[in-house]
Structure 1
Amino acid sequence: MRKAAILFLLLSTGCVPEKDEAKAPEATANASTAAPVATATAPAPAQARKTEERTASFEFDYSYPAEAAAIPALAAELEADLAKQRRELAAAAREGRVAAQENGFPFNPYSYSAGWSVVTDLPGWLSLSAGASTYTSGAHPNHWSQALLWDKAAGKSRVATDLFVSKAALAAAIREPFCKALNRERAARRGEPIDPNSDDMFDQCVDPTASTVILGSSNKQQFDWIGILIAPYEAGPYAEGDYEITLPVTKAVLAAVKPQYRSVFALGR
């Protein structure tokens, strides 16, 4: 009877313990002390490089795009060229200033500039070109074009003509359409057609591979056009400026490509 009375008392006051309550604090503690999940942070994107320097003796400008900066080996190559060009400009300017003082004529600051830009960025290749100019006294600056083709698989720079059997083979494949396109551009600038019988040096066709050759793409997968960048005095007088002739890749061009690179090219339109 005594036991029954005690049990009745417990039930009436709600003091019978529940089995699950003892485990709840432990589960809560485990949840609150769980290690935080680490989150990966993406690397900062490469930035385009641009440097400008102005001194009493020279002006120096050099730049290249983010696409080139994102490739460490290529960026190192361009940085080496930047340092070389600046060093040579500074030395030439020092000599020029001394010569001017010794001979009693005014000295005008020397200059060098080069601005690299992307022609096309393919899965395996990065094609760059640059307009460059320099002034070391005289009537006007001299300017020209440069090109660089980065082979991503090999991790090295090439020139566009490296991908062809020879310069002569490429020149033969594009000479006829190149000469026609050049004369059309000359006629547009001069306001009159080019006389095919003229013996004027600026009316003659030039070797396209003696100028700067660049490779471009319209489909972002393969090279399907070729550009020829011609500096002043090569195809016309200084006043006519640079010439740029763009030609599609043809069957004749494909035949001049080295076998190991043919898959990189496609017929152009």
Structure 2
Amino acid sequence: MKLFDAALGALALLSATTALAAPDKGVEIVDKGKGYSFEYNYPGVIRQFPALEAKMLSEKDVQLAELKEWGAEWATENPDRAADTDMQLQINWRTVADLPRFLSLTIDEWSYTGGAHGSWGRGSLIWDKKSATEIKPLALFTSNEAFDKIVQTPFCDKLDIERSKKRDGEKVDRSQTDDWMQACPKPSELTVILGSSNGRTFNRLAIYAGIYSVGPYVEGDYEIDLPVNAKLLGAVKPAYRSYFTLSPTGSKKR
């Protein structure tokens, strides 16, 4: 939620729907009405791909319409509540890698729909510039099982280190598979993010675990960076293998 603190402050100052566009700042859409507030952002590079932009704006329209319905119900049921308890939705698209053929994106979503606190999460997609179609990151690999077989152990090892830090050094025992706070999920069940440090090929990998997926709300989310190594390259579908290279050593940039 802290990722959106600044956005929340700015959103409170706006009372009408606005759409802004600039080459370096991308597009910002803000809509605030009775019982709801909405913010939707995406980078300027998206405008180079009309099919992708149309897809995103169509999804935005559906989300905004649903939020307005919730907001109307909220305002009717809670007429005396302050404006800062309105139904809120903020969506921010970010460019992770812009390669000659592929555009790798993440989407961060923060929402408040009542209760003690808001909720947030992260998704990802790859846009194939050549075919003008969306590709799920895992679709570039031969199978989810092949991906998990290679990534599972290093992902879980790093995740447990980070979970232990947030738990004041408490050891995580992932052999307790019936305890979701100790167990380690399959990476393919989480958000897979492909990045690049050279602007030409995918050579970075991250696995994102959202709130409540591997620990309690207070721990927040986790994003674990992993290298693209020879084993992982072997699990890439032959048609996409030329678009991957080994991770450079000593660099953590996605």
> TM-score, with normalisation over the residues of structure 2?
0.82
Alignment-derived partner of residue 29 in structure 2:
51
Matching of residue 221 in structure 1 with residue 200 in structure 2:
yes
Aligned to 1:236: 215
Q: Which residue of 1 aligns with 2:12?
A: none
AA aligned opposite 1:219? N
Change (3 A) 1:243 1:45: closer
CA contact 1:222–1:264 (8 Å) conserved in 2: yes
CA distance in structure 2 between the aligned counterparts of 1:232 and 1:173, rounded to whole angstroms:
24
**Rg (Cα) greater in structure:** 1
| Offset at residue 96 of structure 1 (A) | 3.2
Displacement of 1:106 after TM fit?
A: 4.7
Identity percentage of aligned residues: 35
Pairing 1:1-269 to 2, within 5 Å after superposition: 48-100=26-78, 106=81, 108-196=85-173, 199=176, 200-268=179-247, 269=249
Number of residue equivalences: 223
Cα distance, 1:202–1:61 mapped onto 2, change above 3 Å: same
Query: Shift of the alpha carbon at 1:193?
Result: 4.3
Identify if the C-alpha distance between structure 1 residues 246 and 68 changes in structure 2 by more than 3 Å, giving closer, same or farther. Answer: same
Instruction: Tell me the amino acid that sits aligned with residue 177 of structure 1.
Output: P
SS of 2:131's equivalent in the other structure is: coil
1:16 paired residue number: none
Amino acid at match of 2:119: N
Partners of 2:160 and 2:172 within 8 A in 1? no
Residue 196 of structure 1: how far off its partner (Å)? 2.8
Q: C-alpha displacement at 1:61, in angstroms? A: 0.6
Q: Deviations over 1:151-182 (max 9, x none)?
A: 01111111101111122221111001000010
More helix, by proportion: 1
Q: Deviations over 1:122-149 (max 9, x none)?
A: 1111101021011111111111111121
Q: Report the AA paired with residue 70 of structure 2.
A: A
- For 2:213 and 2:174, locate their aligned partners in 1 and report how far apart those are by CA, in whole Å: 19
How far apart in 1 are the matches of 2:36 and 2:229? 45
| In structure 2, C-alpha distance between the alignment counterparts of 1:219 and 1:172, rounded to whole Å | 27
In the alignment, is the contact (CA less than 8 A) between 1:46 and 1:69 conserved in 2? no
Name the CA shift for 1:60/1:195 in 2 (closer, same or farther; >3 Å): closer
Q: Aligned equivalents of 1:74 and 1:251: distance in 2?
A: 32
Amino acid at match of 1:53: D
Give the distance between the partners of 2:29 and 2:88, measured in 1 at CA: 13
Offset at residue 192 of structure 1 (A): 0.6
Q: Deviations over 1:73-132 (max 9, x none)?
A: 11111111111110111112223334446xxx8583101111011101111111010210
Could you say what secondary structure the match of 2:184 adopts? Answer: coil
Pair 65,45 (structure 1): closer, same or farther in 2 beyond 3 Å: closer
d(CA) in 1 for partners of 2:188, 2:144: 6
Residue type of the alignment partner of 2:38: F
- TM-score relative to the length of structure 1: 0.77
Measured after TM superposition, the shift of residue 56 of structure 1 is: 2.4
Q: What secondary structure sits across from 1:223 in the alignment?
A: coil
- SS of the residue corresponding to residue 202 of structure 1 reads coil
Q: Report what 1:40 is aligned to.
A: none
Contact residue 53 and residue 59 of structure 1 kept, 8 A:
yes
Cα contact 1:232–1:241 (8 A) shared by 2: yes
| CA shift for structure 1 position 195 | 3.7
Task: Write the letter of the residue equivalent to 2:40.
Answer: Y
Contact kept? 1:178, 1:208, Cα under 8 Å? yes
Would you say the 8 A contact 2:34–2:71 is kept in 1?
A: no
Letter paired with 1:77: K
**Higher strand share goes to which structure?**
2
